[in-house]
Amino acid sequence: MSGFRLAQGGIVERSTVLGFSFDGQKLQGFKGDSLASALLANGVGLVGRSFKYHRPRGLFGAGAEEPNALVTLGSGDRTEPNIRATTVELSAQLQATSQNRWPSLAFDVMGINNLLSGVLAAGFYYKTFMWPAALWEKLYEPLIRRAAGLGKAANLPDPDRYEQGNLFCDLLVIGSGPAGLNAALVAGRAGARVIVCEDDFAFGGRLLSEQYEIGKAGAGQWLAACLAELESLPNVRLMARATVFGVYDGGSYGVVQRLVPEGVVPEAFHARQCLWRIVARQSLLASGAIERPMVFAGNDRPGIMLGSAVRTYLNRYGVAAGKRLVVHTSHDEGWTTAFDAQAAGIETCVVETRDTVHADLIAKAHRFAVRVVLGGRIIDTRGAQGLTRVTIATDRYQEHIDCDGLAVSNGWNPTLHLTCHHNNKPVWDGPRACFVPQHLPQGMRLAGAVTGDFSLKDALSQGWQQGAAVAEDCGFKPAAFEALSCSDDPQEGVSVWSVAGKGKAFIDLQHDVTSDDIVLAHREGYRSVEHLKRYTTLGMGTDQGKTSNVTGLAVMAGLCGTGIAEVGTTVFRPPYTPVAIGALAGAHRDRHFRPTRLSAAHQWAVEQGAVFVETGLWLRTQYVPKSGETHWRETVDREVLAVRAGVGLCDVSTLGKIEVQGRDAAAFLDFVYCNLISTLPVGRTRYGLMLREDGFVMDDGTVARLGEQHFLISTTTAQAVAVMNHLDFCHQVHHPAWDVRMVSVTERWTQLAIAGPQSRALLQRALGQTIDLSDGATPYLACRNFMLAEGVPARLFRVSFSGELAYELAVPADYGDAVVRHLAQPGREFGLTLYGTEAMGVMRIEKGHVAGNELNGTTTARDLGLEKMMSRKKDFIGRVMAQRPALQADDRPQLVGFKPVDPAARMTAGAHFLPIGHPATIGHDQGYMTSVAYSPHCGCLIGLGLLQHGPQRIGERVRAYDALRGLDTLVEIVSPVFVDPKGERLHG
């Protein structure tokens, strides 16, 4: 191909010259060019290599349908592979690189695949790599992985920002051709909220590509006036570079908008792309149609392109697709290409497959001096890296014609992809020879070429009528229909799917699927369209077969001796065109991948040098290293010993806190907890265990009774939301008539655990006379509402997770920071130590308290040694199902403690218990270790675990076998309570 810029014509801004590069070569184009048109204008015909055979390829289309011209834009961390050159708006300094070739586009070593095409036919994966099986991992898979894929990702963090947003409208117009714009105009004028999404960087659709007339002037004037009016309407939003890629439920549409042209670095504070969710009361699909090619030998050479694309380059960009053009057509449309080209000074010849055409076409061809061959077909092409010659054949003769451009026209396929997204299959319309939508997603209408009516007149009138209908449905009064005079499109033609000839004839240009592949699939029984697609990979490239699917189906229909209607079609899924993963992620990346919750005392912990850990969405203090400490274990040991010997402080604000009030609150809590709550006196706290409906443990926590009808329950941090949902469900479904009122107050209170033998002294010093902390006034498990100095409300709970004398002080979050700082002042005198989740974990294991590792959804109260908590005096959630024989079986693993026989030995959570002297098989598995920590108190690792007949086997030894880490440790079964088994420390 030797395309060139015409001296005039097109709608590019010739006064604005833009420099860009392709494979390092410096080139120039104009503002308004696409990358493809600019390449063509510079005579660049070879733009890529095909996926499988690495055949040289050129531009085939001029829009989203392009199968060949996939390029990589940018470099470094802004590298974007697999971008269609046809949809890229040319910008200054745009850097494009060809892909799928080595070492260069002109000389590609992998082009050897073309010589091996006999081996690489459809299904070769399935046949070739069957044996010897041993080579699969060593040779075949690495080879296939190396060969697979198109383009190379940057492998660097994306420096740009992506946004997501939501828009709402009465009418979403998809496509800004004549149908879409006319619909937007009538609905917008009537007052409806209208959004127009255009995939291209310019509005107008085919109006930009054709020499249409509307009214008594060129279509360009109508387009300009229409856009000016739409832009002036405050209720209309025009969105260019916005691709509607998916149709979802409830009138939702997925749209990705390129906020800056590809290859342009966004300004500071601006995003590169935005992923919109547009919710529309109704939508109008005015997506037009894609011209379809013919299949003939050598139909993939650079220089061969769709006739509609040739006209786009000519009329929109002022670029000729070649110096000598042949038009191979079975349709009147192809003649328009010839006339447009010839008028632009390009020598053109029409090779028409039909023997006769309308006399007007012949007359016009004579006027334009276009050579015409009727009843002709192209049976061969020549040219190594660009077309140089075609061979035509008629019934009477064969002839070689030298040319560097070949335009192919074979009718149109409606761009109906979005109509399929709710699994609606299109149907074959025989008279119009194309698939048309049968059923539509709710709220969607059609106008223009997507309906199968391809004329400009139909597009304008359907657009108006559908736009008016939507406006009426939304309560507006649209103006009456105004017919516009316009040029008529040529309409007649036949479908010629395949032309016999020698050599490869390609159907899917991107995936190198040939007509021979379809024949092979048919011969091997893959005749269903779904099998055909998967066996040959027809239509499975990044273009989703926009120019190949229907042709492939037609060829299969021919082989089967049936019609296309009988063969049927596959459906299209979102996305319509590829969507960058960055747009799907939006702002949810890195630290903001998900929200982070911080307690009101977080800043103070930061100042203390705390190291944090994610617990659910919360960041919690994990441990707080002091200078000189070189290992986290050193820090944690110190924190544990400090709490056990003196006093420590831990922020427990993250635990879920739910207020439960109402006349039936006590009965309700009896129902949701397995132990009895209604007997809890006011001013006291009780440990509560909650089961699921299936009898397994759901969560645990404390229940404080603050008044006769007023309870405050706590949940684990991770389960807070699940427990709130569960309680709501139990209330609304099981006992809707009960007077129970619940609300989460987790955010309201900052809660601090103060633990250790000095905790009372410290708190009493800090809180002064505001509360009496003596055993008599505030005994173990007491709870109190009281006021701090200056009237700050507070709550105190004498509960302990560490096993030490301990309190939990709750204050309003607004005062959380002040209170923790206030406690820290006398804390210096008492050696107050801030401790984190690691030390807390060590201390709870030392006390045999269960936590998330044990409350893992597979354990029952009995498994955890908490069977006595299951009340026999009442009904409760999970009671009946917990009685199932399997949950009562004697051999269910039960909670016990473990110590390594050799105190220096390592043991790990997750290790499985095996009897000594038996092989490590599932048949000998007796349970597993749930939690392990180093206990400074015991001077060795200690663990909790679930072991068959565990409580009866204390003193025995078993193996803790961890195949993952290669550990096999002899451990002793011990009581799960390692520290203070009598609980004396709790009382100070």
Partner 1 sequence: MVEPVYKRRSVWQGRVDAGSYGKAVAHAGLHVRLLDHAFAASVLCPAGEPATASLGPGQRYSREGVQILPMAPDQFFIESETMPSKECLLRLFGAQATVIDQTGSRASVQLSGPNVLDVLAKGVMIDCDPLAFPAGSGRVTLLGQLSVQISVDAEGVFELSCMRSMAGDMWHWIETAAGQYGIAVGR
CA 699 to chain centre: 32
Instruction: Please report how close the Cβ of residue 826 comes to partner 1 at its closest, in angstroms.
Output: 12
- Coil/strand/helix, residue 739: coil
**Least distance from partner 1 to the Cβ atom of residue 276, Å:** 8
Contact 213, 322 (CB under 8 A): no
Looking at 2, 4, 129, 163, which residue binds partner 1 (CB under 8 A)? 163
Nearer to partner 1, 664 or 962 (CB): 664
**What's the closest the beta carbon of residue 595 comes to partner 1, in angstroms?**
4
264 makes contact with partner 1 (CB under 8 A) = no
Residues 6+ apart with CB under 8 A from 862: 882, 887, 888, 892, 894
Q: List CB contacts of 961: < 8 A, sequence separation 6 or more.
A: 911, 912, 913, 914, 920, 967, 968, 969
Does residue 704 touch partner 1 according to CB under 8 A?
A: no
Near partner 1 by CB under 8 A: residue from 659, 694, 956, 980: 659
Binding test (CB under 8 A) with partner 1, winner from 588, 589, 626, 884: 588
In Å, what is the CA distance from 15 to each residue of 11, 12, 32, 36, 320? 11, 9, 11, 19, 19
Q: Two tokens at 221?
A: 């004037």
Per-residue mark of binding to partner 1, 448-487 (x: CB under 8 A): ----------------------------------------
Is residue 600 a contact residue for partner 1 (CB under 8 A)?
yes
**Minimum CB separation from partner 1 for residue 896, in Å?**
38
| The Cα angle at residue 421 between residues 419 and 423, in degrees rounded to 5 | 95
Of 354, 432, 534, 741, the one binding partner 1 (CB under 8 A) is 741
Spatial distance between the Cα atoms of 62 and 43, rounded to a whole number of angstroms: 16
For residue 796, what is the DSSP state?
A: E
Asked if residue 752 binds partner 1 (CB under 8 A), the reply is: no
Residue 164 near partner 1 by CB under 8 A: yes
Q: Is 407 exposed, middle or buried (0-12, 13-18, 19+ CB in 10 A)?
A: buried
Considering only CA atoms, which of 575, 521, 510 is closest in space to residue 553?
A: 521
- Tell me which of 335, 506, 668, 815 binds partner 1, using CB under 8 A: 815
Stretch that binds partner 1, among 29-37, 359-367, 536-544, 584-592 (CB under 8 A): 584-592
- Angle between the 529-536 and 515-523 helix axes, to the nearest 10 degrees? 120
**DSSP secondary-structure letter at 140?**
I
Six-digit token string for 774: 């003596």
In the complex with partner 1, the residue whose CB is nearer, 100 or 599, is 599
Q: Is 122 exposed, middle or buried (0-12, 13-18, 19+ CB in 10 A)?
A: buried
Over the window 193 to 232, marking each residue x when it contacts partner 1 by CB under 8 A and - when it does not, the resulting string is x---------------------------------------
Q: Are strands 967-974 and 893-900 parallel, antiparallel or unpaired?
A: antiparallel
> What whole-number distance in Å separates Cα of residue 187 and Cα of residue 194?
7
Query: Which residues are bridge partners to 509 per DSSP?
Result: none
The residue within the footprint of partner 1, chosen from 229, 694, 817, 968 (CB under 8 A), is 817
Among 138, 269, 356, 431, binds partner 1 (CB under 8 A): 269
Quick one: 84 exposed, middle or buried, by C-beta within 10 A (0-12, 13-18, 19+)? Answer: buried
Cβ proximity to partner 1: between 14 and 588 the closer is: 588
Beta carbons of 905 and 701 less than 8 angstroms apart: no
**Which range in 194-202, 506-514, 523-531, 811-819 contacts partner 1 by CB under 8 A?**
811-819
Contact 35, 90 (CB under 8 A): yes
**H helix or E strand, kind and range, residue 600:** none
Pick 709 or 853: Cβ nearer partner 1: 709
Contacts for 776 with CB less than 8 Å, ≥ 6 apart: none
Place of tokens 């269609």: 84
Judged by CB under 8 A, the residue of 24, 76, 132, 267 near partner 1 is 267
- Does position 339 interact with partner 1 (CB under 8 A)? The reply is no
From residue 22, give the alpha-carbon distance in Å to each of 12, 36, 80, 93, 470.
20, 11, 14, 10, 46
Q: How far is the CB of 597 from partner 1 (least distance, A)?
A: 4
In the complex, least distance from residue 739 CB atom to partner 1, rounded to whole angstroms:
6
Q: Does 742 bind partner 1 (CB under 8 A)?
A: yes
**Smallest distance, partner 1 to C-beta of residue 271, A:** 8
User: Of 698, 783, 708, which is closest to residue 739 (Cα–Cα)?
Assistant: 708
Among 475, 503, 609, 793, binds partner 1 (CB under 8 A): 793
Nearer to partner 1, 536 or 750 (CB): 750
Q: Can you tell me the distance from the alpha carbon of 480 to that of 464, in angstroms, rounded to the nearest whole number? A: 9
The stretch near partner 1 (CB under 8 A) out of 138-146, 177-185, 817-825, 881-889 is: 817-825
Closest approach, Cβ 736 to partner 1, in A, equals: 9
571 or 745: whose CB is closer to partner 1?
745
Comparing CA positions, the residue from 674, 697, 686, 599 lying closest to residue 946 is: 697
Residue 540 within binding range of partner 1, rule CB under 8 A = no
Q: Which is nearer to partner 1, 283 or 385 (CB)?
A: 283
Q: Taking CB under 8 A as the rule, does residue 599 contact partner 1?
A: yes
Give yes or no for residue 743 binding partner 1 (CB under 8 A). yes
- Binding mask of the shown chain, residues 176 to 195, with x at each position contacting partner 1 by CB under 8 A: -----------------x--
Question: Does residue 764 bind partner 1 (CB under 8 A)?
Answer: no
Total residues interacting with partner 1, rule: CB under 8 A: 55
Minimum distance from residue 278 beta carbon to partner 1 (Å): 10
Is the distance from CB of 402 to CB of 383 less than 8 angstroms?
A: no
Task: Kindly state the smallest distance separating residue 600's Cβ from partner 1, in Å.
Answer: 7
In this chain, which stretch among 30-38, 159-167, 494-502, 636-644 interacts with partner 1, using CB under 8 A? 159-167
- Candidate list 364, 389, 425, 597; residue touching partner 1; CB under 8 A: 597
Q: Is 769 in the site for partner 1 (CB under 8 A)?
A: no
Stretch that binds partner 1, among 199-207, 270-278, 644-652, 885-893 (CB under 8 A): 270-278
Burial of 185 (0-12, 13-18, 19+ CB in 10 A): buried
Q: Among residues 601 and 958, whose Cβ is nearest to partner 1?
A: 601
User: Measured between alpha carbons, how far is 423 from 499 in angstroms, rounded to an integer?
Assistant: 33
Name the one range near partner 1 by CB under 8 A: 160-168, 327-335, 896-904, 977-985.
160-168
Q: Which of 326, 624, 720, 788 binds partner 1 (CB under 8 A)?
A: 788
| Closest separation in Å from C-beta 239 to partner 1 | 12
* Residue 274 sits in the site that holds partner 1 (CB under 8 A): yes
For 330, how many CA atoms within 13 A lie in the half-sphere containing its CB?
Answer: 18
CA–CA gap between residue 210 and residue 736 (Å, rounded): 67
Strand 506-508 relative to strand 444-446: parallel, antiparallel, unpaired?
A: unpaired
State residue 689 phi and psi, 5-degree precision: -125, 130
Among 8, 15, 155, 166, binds partner 1 (CB under 8 A): 166
Q: Which of 102, 107, 125, 168 binds partner 1 (CB under 8 A)?
A: 168
List contacts with partner 1 (CB under 8 A): 161, 163-168, 193, 267-271, 274, 277, 279, 586-588, 592, 594-600, 603, 617-618, 659, 661-662, 739, 741-743, 745, 747-748, 788-790, 792-793, 811-819, 822
